[in-house]
Chain A
C-alpha cells in the first residue's frame, strides 16, 4: 500500500543576519491513511516547522511533501490545522466559526440545510452542541479547543494536523479532550499528525511516535510503534507492560539520548537582588 502522506528529504534553512540557520535536515516520513502519528521532541527542535510545512504555511527549502500523489505547495482545507491557542474568531459564535469553514469547503456541494446539519453534527461530535451559540469569550479554554477541533474536522480533511492542541489546558480538561479525540479517531478513522510535549499523551493516543533530535539541523531520531490495542483506556493502561515499555523508550530518548544541556546562568548578588525585586 502506498502511503497517504510522504515527507521526503525535507529540510528548512532560514536566513538570519548571522548567516544561514539550518532548522531541519533530511526529514523522511511516510504516514498511512488512518494512522495517528505524534511528533515529540524538546522545544525548539522544529516539530512545529515540520507541521507547518505539511500544512503549507511554510515552504520547505529542500525536499517536499506529497499528499495523495499531489505536492503540497500552499495551505488548504484538506490539511486542516488545530492550532495551539484555538484561533477561533472571537466575534463569531462556535456555530458561526465552524460554519465559516464549512461554507468555504462545501458551498458548492451542500445545500443551506445540509451545511447547517453538518456544522451541528461536528459540534455534537466534540460534545459542544449545548454551547454552539456562545462566543469564544463565553466558554472555557477546553471548550474553545473542542470547537477548534470541530472546525478542523468539519472540513473533512485528509490529514488533521494538531499543533500541541492540549498544551495550554489543565490536566483534567486535557484528559477529557484526549478521550474525545480517541473516540473521534476511532469513529472517523481520520489521519492525524499531532505535536506534543507530553509523553503520556503521545503514548496513549498514537500508533507511532516520531521522536525528533535537537536542532540545529534537527531530524527524526527514532520512530516507535505503539502496539497497544484500541480502544485504549487510560486507567487500565497504567500497568500495561507494552504501554510502560513504550513510555520508557520515549523518556529515554528525550532525557538520555537527546538531553538538552542548558547550564543555568550563575547568579551574582546583584542579579539575585534584581530577581527578588521583580518578584
Chain B
C-alpha cells in the first residue's frame, strides 16, 4: 500500500478539500494564501487607478491588463520567430540539397539564422551572463576572503582597497571594462562575444564585495576553542582550513553569496542597458528608444520578469544554502 504524506504547508488545502478545517488551519490558509492574494489584488487595483491618470508622450501609462496583453504578444513574437528560424533552416537544407545535386563538387555553406533576439532570448542571455559573472566573482572572493580572514596582515593591506572599491557603481566601471576588453580580447575567431565579457566582468567587479567581506568575517569568527582543537591535533594549514575554517565560515559565506547574487542581477540589467549588451537591459532600452504605444507595456513586462527572476535566483541560493550548511538556524528567509 502506498501512503501519501503531504508537506506541512499543504495540510490546510487537504483539510479544505476533505472539509475538515481546524482553526489553526484556517489561520495557516489565511497567512499562506488569502492575505498574499489580497495584497496583490489591492496593488493591481491601485496600479490600474494610477495608470489611468498618467498620460505620457507615448500614450497612457499601461495598467495591468495592457501589460498582460503585451506579455502575451511577447510570447507570440517569440513563437513566430522560432517558426521563422525553423523555416529558414528547412529552406537552407532544401537549397543545399538541390544545388549539390547539380554541382556535386560544390562545398555547401551553412548559415545561422540571424533574426533579432526575442524577449525570451534576452532572458537566456542575461541569465547566462549573470551566472558567469557571479561564478567568477565567487571564485575570486571566497579564496581571497579566507586569506584576509586568516591573516591580519592581509586584512590590513586589503581593507583600504576593499572599502574604496566596494561602493563603486557599475556604471563607473563599465566604460573602463569595455575599453579593456576591446583592447585585450583580440581574436579572429572569438569564442564568446565581447559584449558578454564586458557585462560579465562588470557584474563580477560589483558583486564580489559581499562574498569577500562575509567570508572574511566568517573566517575571523571561528571559535577559539575549535582553533585550539586544531592545534592539539596538529592539523596542518591546509587541513585546518578544510576541516575547521571552511565549515565554520560556511553560513556567513552563504549570506554573502546570496547578497552578491542579488547585486549581480541588479548590476547586470544596468550594465546591459548602458552598454547595449544583449540581455534584458538592452530589451528595456530598445523599447524605450523604439517609443511605440506598446513600449511602456513591454517595459513593464520586463520589469516584472526581472523581479521574478531575481526572486527565483534568491530562492535557488536559499535552497543550496539549506542543502549545504550544517547550521540550519543560520538559514533565514
- Expressed in whole angstroms, the Cα–Cα distance for A263 and B229 within the complex equals 38
Instruction: Tell me if B225 and A87 are in contact (CB < 8 A).
Output: yes
Residues of A34-90 contacting chain B, CB below 8 A: 55-57, 74-77, 79-81, 83, 85, 87, 89-90
Most B Cβ at <10 Å: residue of A55, A77, A89, A101? A89
Q: How large is the interface on B (under 10, 10 to 19, 20 to 34, 35 or more residues)?
A: 10 to 19
List the B side residues contacting A79 at CB < 8 Å. Answer: 232
Instruction: Tell me if B231 and A91 are in contact (CB < 8 A).
Output: no
List the A side residues contacting B229 at CB < 8 Å. Answer: 83, 87, 89
A135 within 8 A of B: yes
A238 within 8 A of B: no
List the B side residues contacting A57 at CB < 8 Å. Answer: 228, 231-232
Min CB distance, A138 to chain B, in Å?
A: 11
B41 within 8 A of A: no
- Expressed in whole angstroms, the Cα–Cα distance for A135 and B247 within the complex equals 14
**How many residue pairs, one in A and one in B, have C-beta atoms under 8 Å apart?**
50
If A89-B226, A100-B243 touch, whether A81 touches B232 (CB-CB below 8 Å) is: yes
Instruction: Tell me if A77 and B232 are in contact (CB < 8 A).
Output: yes
Min CB distance, A118 to chain B, in Å?
A: 15
Residues of B75-133 contacting chain A, CB below 8 A: none
Tell which of B223, B231, B327 touches A75, judged by Cβ atoms closer than 8 Å. B231
B234 within 8 A of A: yes
Main secondary structure of the interface of B (DSSP, over half): helix
Min CB distance, B235 to chain A, in Å?
A: 7
If A85-B225, A87-B225 touch, whether A80 touches B232 (CB-CB below 8 Å) is: yes
Tell which of B228, B235, B247, B327 touches A81, judged by Cβ atoms closer than 8 Å. B228
Instruction: Tell me if A89 and B244 are in contact (CB < 8 A).
Output: yes
Instruction: Tell me if B244 and A104 are in contact (CB < 8 A).
Output: no
Instruction: Tell me if A87 and B228 are in contact (CB < 8 A).
Output: yes
- Expressed in whole angstroms, the Cα–Cα distance for A89 and B232 within the complex equals 14
Instruction: Tell me if B243 and A75 are in contact (CB < 8 A).
Output: no
Instruction: Tell me if A89 and B228 are in contact (CB < 8 A).
Output: no
- Expressed in whole angstroms, the Cα–Cα distance for A155 and B235 within the complex equals 13
Instruction: Tell me if A89 and B247 are in contact (CB < 8 A).
Output: yes
Instruction: Tell me if A90 and B234 are in contact (CB < 8 A).
Output: no
In the complex formed, the residue of B with least CB distance to A105 is B233
Instruction: Tell me if B226 and A75 are in contact (CB < 8 A).
Output: no
List the B side residues contacting A105 at CB < 8 Å. Answer: 233
B326 within 8 A of A: yes
Min CB distance, B238 to chain A, in Å?
A: 13
In the complex formed, the residue of A with least CB distance to B329 is A137
If A85-B225, A87-B226, A89-B244 touch, whether A100 touches B326 (CB-CB below 8 Å) is: no
Min CB distance, A278 to chain B, in Å?
A: 27
In the complex formed, the residue of A with least CB distance to B232 is A75
Min CB distance, A144 to chain B, in Å?
A: 12
Instruction: Tell me if A135 and B228 are in contact (CB < 8 A).
Output: no
- Expressed in whole angstroms, the Cα–Cα distance for A236 and B147 within the complex equals 58
Instruction: Tell me if A104 and B228 are in contact (CB < 8 A).
Output: no
User: 1/0 per residue B297-333: CB within 8 Å of A?
Assistant: 0000000000000000000000000000011000000
Instruction: Tell me if A104 and B225 are in contact (CB < 8 A).
Output: no
Tell which of B228, B234, B326 touches A91, judged by Cβ atoms closer than 8 Å. B326
Instruction: Tell me if B225 and A75 are in contact (CB < 8 A).
Output: no
Instruction: Tell me if B234 and A76 are in contact (CB < 8 A).
Output: yes
User: 1/0 per residue A108-140: CB within 8 Å of B?
Assistant: 000000000000000000000000000100000
Instruction: Tell me if A100 and B233 are in contact (CB < 8 A).
Output: yes
Tell which of A56, A76, A81, A89 touches B243, judged by Cβ atoms closer than 8 Å. A89
List the A side residues contacting B327 at CB < 8 Å. Answer: 90-91
Min CB distance, B228 to chain A, in Å?
A: 6
Instruction: Tell me if B247 and A91 are in contact (CB < 8 A).
Output: yes
Min CB distance, B328 to chain A, in Å?
A: 9
In the complex formed, the residue of A with least CB distance to B234 is A76
- Expressed in whole angstroms, the Cα–Cα distance for A104 and B243 within the complex equals 12
Tell which of B233, B244, B326 touches A77, judged by Cβ atoms closer than 8 Å. B233
Residues of A6-32 contacting chain B, CB below 8 A: none
Instruction: Tell me if B228 and A75 are in contact (CB < 8 A).
Output: yes
- Expressed in whole angstroms, the Cα–Cα distance for A56 and B233 within the complex equals 12
Instruction: Tell me if B234 and A104 are in contact (CB < 8 A).
Output: yes
Instruction: Tell me if B247 and A76 are in contact (CB < 8 A).
Output: no
List the B side residues contacting A83 at CB < 8 Å. Answer: 225, 228-229
List the B side residues contacting A135 at CB < 8 Å. Answer: 326
List the A side residues contacting B239 at CB < 8 Å. Answer: 104
- Expressed in whole angstroms, the Cα–Cα distance for A81 and B227 within the complex equals 13
- Expressed in whole angstroms, the Cα–Cα distance for A100 and B239 within the complex equals 10
In the complex formed, the residue of B with least CB distance to A151 is B229
Residues of B195-225 contacting chain A, CB below 8 A: 223, 225
Instruction: Tell me if B234 and A77 are in contact (CB < 8 A).
Output: yes
Min CB distance, B18 to chain A, in Å?
A: 35
Min CB distance, B133 to chain A, in Å?
A: 30
- Expressed in whole angstroms, the Cα–Cα distance for A10 and B231 within the complex equals 22
Using CB atoms and an 8 Å cutoff, list the residues of chain B in contact with chain A: 223, 225-226, 228-229, 231-235, 239, 243-244, 247, 250, 326-327
Task: Show 12 residue pairs from A and B whose CB-CB distance is below 8 angstroms, ordered by the A residue.
Answer: A57-B232, A74-B231, A74-B234, A85-B225, A87-B225, A87-B229, A89-B229, A89-B244, A89-B247, A91-B247, A91-B326, A91-B327
Q: Kindly list 4 other residue pairs between chains A and B, CB separation below 8 angstroms, not including A57-B232, A80-B232, A81-B232.
A: A83-B229, A87-B225, A87-B229, A91-B326
What are the 7 A-B residue pairs with the smallest beta carbon separation, nearest first? A91-B326, A87-B225, A75-B231, A91-B247, A104-B233, A75-B232, A87-B229
